[in-house]
Structure 1
Amino acid sequence: MINTPVGRGVRADGWLIRTAAVQRSIPIITTTAGFNAAVEGIRFLQSHELSIKSLQEWLA
């Protein structure tokens, strides 16, 4: 779910939207920067294979 509130009177609506999303375990993005980061992450995942490493491997 994407909700980028702008202007007056959107505070209550935004709270209701965020609350409903959290209650239903729906990811929510509230800024355009967050949306851009999500798109970049999705594109990366589509073009690269995931690898899993333990914390010890990352710190070695």
Structure 2
Amino acid sequence: MYEKREECGIFGIFGDPEAVQKTYFGLHSLQHRGQESAGIASSNGEFIGCFTGMG
């Protein structure tokens, strides 16, 4: 029987003064996971911008 399996990677940072550096290293560690599609969301406190795309 076919069983659906997902192998996704999620990385997030909230309220950290070193968010840029930590996000860089976190995404670098997950780079092999975004071969089909990827996305990122960022907030300025009033608006959440979401950007997605195919691998």
TM-score tier, shorter chain, comes to 0.3 to 0.5
Q: Which has the higher contact order (CA 8 A, sep 6+)?
A: 1
Structure with larger Rg: 1
Q: Quick check: which one's helix share is greater? A: 1
Q: Quick check: which one's strand share is greater? A: 2
TM normalised by structure 2 equals: 0.37
